[in-house]
Structure 1
Amino acid sequence: TVTAIDDTTDRGIPGKKCGTIILSAEELSNCRDSATMQFCANKLDKKDFFGKSDPFMVFYRSNEDGTFTICHKTEVVKNTLNPVWQPFTIPVRALCNGDYDRTIKVEVYDWDRDGSHDFIGDFTTSYRELARGQSQFNVYEVSKSSVSTDQQHVFWLLRSGNPSQSTSLHYMNPYQLNAYAMALKAVGEIIQDYDSDKMFPALGFGAKLPPDGRVSHEFPLNGNMENPYCNGIEGILEAYHQSLKTVQLYGPTNFAPVVNHVARYAAAVQDGSQYFVLLIITDGVISDMAQTKEAIVNGAKLPMSIIIVGVGQAEFDAMVELDGDDIRISSRGKLAERDIVQFVPFRDYMDRTGNHVLSMARLAKDVLAEIPDQFISYMKSRGIKPNPAPPPYTPPGHTHHHTQI
């Protein structure tokens, strides 16, 4: 209960205008749910004269009287028009008081050091819409009445989601493969024949591991730290499905640890006898772009390549940047000595239902498009030549007869 006391006594400072404090109350719902969400934006307005923008988001819950109250503010992402904000968890009661259809207003600002943040634009949504997860329904145009903003969009990203919910890309449907499993099976069957024993170390990243809930960005899918190898693509799929039952998917999404993991193996074998290919299947969200670029620049010196397959409907600007086809990857002023990344958006090869690959031949061509040149570029840069062909096999008891012409 909030009681208003009418006190006409002047308790202010003489000659000074005092402010007003307004108290409003609303009965809290019994909703105990919490929501974990993540947003990214594409082509926001440039506000800084010498740079791009330093965007952040402010979330407002609508009140019963039509006013709005701040309920969350994201971190600032520096110098970008295509920010990816960190995942955050908020009680649904704080976001909408358990009313899934209540309006949620989101404002986007460009951060300024002096606190005079520049307004970029805003949009409205509801928790019911957000709960649909990553889809075409959760792409919002950032509007501002005084400017044209047709090209500005904010994307809701359900990075992992609960595998038991149908909105998650990891949803375990008993009747068909999810997006990750389809991509793994299709692409894996293309590249597995280039491995002699078909025993693959399979790693996951971005999850809390049992029993203590430790967050890991390079954990074995089969749960065996000493032997992370899986037997063929079917073995990887089995380990993946089992891991979804035991780990809790959790942000942020860091690529650098798995890139460095493979780089350590590649660094130990630089005589040309082995070449390593890392396959990353991702929804496009990345939280450690700078560290990943540094890992790729360092990996470019080693016998390794990286294939990134994007699943889902998000924008993949960050993955295209890592691909480096247009602009070679650099880190700390150092340019990668060769291109080692190939990015493929899996949705480009799917039918309208999203359940079938239209052309395995085209997918295979694009997945493997750059690997041969990357392999040869490493061998040439190290002066490694192919071993001489072994002599033809001679069955026991037979002798080769040479004919001189």
Structure 2
Amino acid sequence: MSAAESGKNPDDGPGYETLAEITKAMKEAGVENCGLIFGIDYTISNKLQGQKTFDGHSLHDITKDKINPYQEVICILGETLEPLDDDGIIHAYGFGDRKTKDKKTFPLKPQGECEGFAEVLDVYNEMTPKIRMGGPTNFAPLIRKAIDIVRKNQEYHILVIVADGQVTSEEETIQAIVDASCYPLSIVVIGVGDGPWNVMNDLDEKLPSRKFDNFQFVDFHEIKATARSPQTAIAIEALSEVPEQYKAIKKLKLLENM
């Protein structure tokens, strides 16, 4: 699979073409294992963001005969990321619902953490129909929750945020991303739905100086539409900056200085 087929712009950085290549690069960078944190966007804009990309349905629509984008991302990243997680524990949170709004997060599993992505998917399927979507959209509470987890566990983590991209609390989100660069934490945002993605695409350029480039955005549907092997391409794109991020974390001694 070429870089073009994988949905990767050759000018964006290392042109990983297979999962084996990126796995090797991660090991060479020193990533033997890591903690995983998963965040799901429950803002009300999800009801309208599937007009083009999900046959007009809500992005959280759950039926037996069709998998929604959130379920698809959980499955794809579960297969890719789970082998990196030594204890199998996934910290899974929702945000943007009618109760927490843009101020807090809530655990997707009411009691305890999820054991593997299979349970993340099971809990998502069980809880989503009960959740009342709200807003506005703010990634900051989730990012700060991730920082707390990293500080407590004193281990490198990858935070995956699956969202429809309609960030309304942009300044708070930017500040949280900047603050997170003081910790061994990579942030990957998987954009699902119709977009537009101008905020996500421009976010890196608007960010003030950080300790390291800790943020990666992946346009889920664009990659699916252009890649020969969409699942592989999405997984590669999601992890494409992790090797360099981890090298920067080691160079800055962020794990040692916690």
TM-score range, shorter chain: 0.7 to 0.9
Kindly indicate whether residue 239 of structure 2 is the aligned counterpart of residue 368 of structure 1: yes
1:52-111 CA-to-partner distances (Å, cap 9, x unmatched) read: xxxxxxxxxxxxxxxxxxxxxxxxxxxxxxxxxx979xxxxxxxxxxxxxxxxxxxxxxx
Greater helix fraction, Structure 1 or Structure 2:
2
Q: 1: CA distance between counterparts of 2:146 and 2:48?
A: 35
Greater strand fraction, Structure 1 or Structure 2:
1
SS in structure 2 at match of 1:350:
helix
Aligned length: 212
Q: 1:377 aligns with which of 239, 243, 248?
A: 248
- Map of 1:296 onto structure 2: 177
1:208, distance to aligned residue in structure 2 (A): 2.9
Amino acid of the structure 2 residue aligned with 1:230: C
Aligned positions of 1:2-401 closer than 5 A: 134-136=50-52, 167-209=57-99, 215=101, 217-224=104-111, 227=112, 229-268=113-152, 274-322=155-203, 324=204, 327=205, 329-330=207-208, 335-351=209-225, 358-382=229-253
1:245, distance to aligned residue in structure 2 (A): 2.4
SS in structure 2 at match of 1:248:
coil
CA contact (8 A) 1:217 1:254 kept: no
Residues 308 and 288 of structure 1: is their aligned pair in 2 closer, same or farther, counting only changes over 3 Å? Answer: same
Q: 1: CA distance between counterparts of 2:80 and 2:150?
A: 22
CA contact (8 A) 2:159 2:187 kept: yes
1:357, distance to aligned residue in structure 2 (A): 8.0
CA contact (8 A) 1:349 1:357 kept: no
- Structure having the higher Rg: 1
Runs ≥4 in structure 1, deviation > 6 angstroms? none
1:134, distance to aligned residue in structure 2 (A): 4.4
CA contact (8 A) 1:351 1:358 kept: no
Q: 1: CA distance between counterparts of 2:252 and 2:180?
A: 14
Residues 202 and 87 of structure 1: is their aligned pair in 2 closer, same or farther, counting only changes over 3 Å? Answer: closer
CA contact (8 A) 1:253 1:288 kept: yes
SS in structure 2 at match of 1:204:
strand
1:351, distance to aligned residue in structure 2 (A): 4.6
SS in structure 2 at match of 1:223:
coil
1:226-264 CA-to-partner distances (Å, cap 9, x unmatched) read: x2x112111001111122122211111111000000111
1:177, distance to aligned residue in structure 2 (A): 1.1
Using the size of structure 2 for normalisation, the TM-score is 0.73
Q: 2: CA distance between counterparts of 1:134 and 1:360?
A: 19
SS in structure 2 at match of 1:135:
coil
- Map of 1:389 onto structure 2: none
> Which structure has the higher relative contact order (CA within 8 Å, separation 6+)?
2
Residues 303 and 197 of structure 1: is their aligned pair in 2 closer, same or farther, counting only changes over 3 Å? Answer: same
Residues 383 and 240 of structure 1: is their aligned pair in 2 closer, same or farther, counting only changes over 3 Å? Answer: closer
Residues 293 and 384 of structure 1: is their aligned pair in 2 closer, same or farther, counting only changes over 3 Å? Answer: closer
Q: 2: CA distance between counterparts of 1:133 and 1:312?
A: 5
Aligned residues: CA RMSD: 2.9
Moved more, 284-293 or 342-351: 342-351
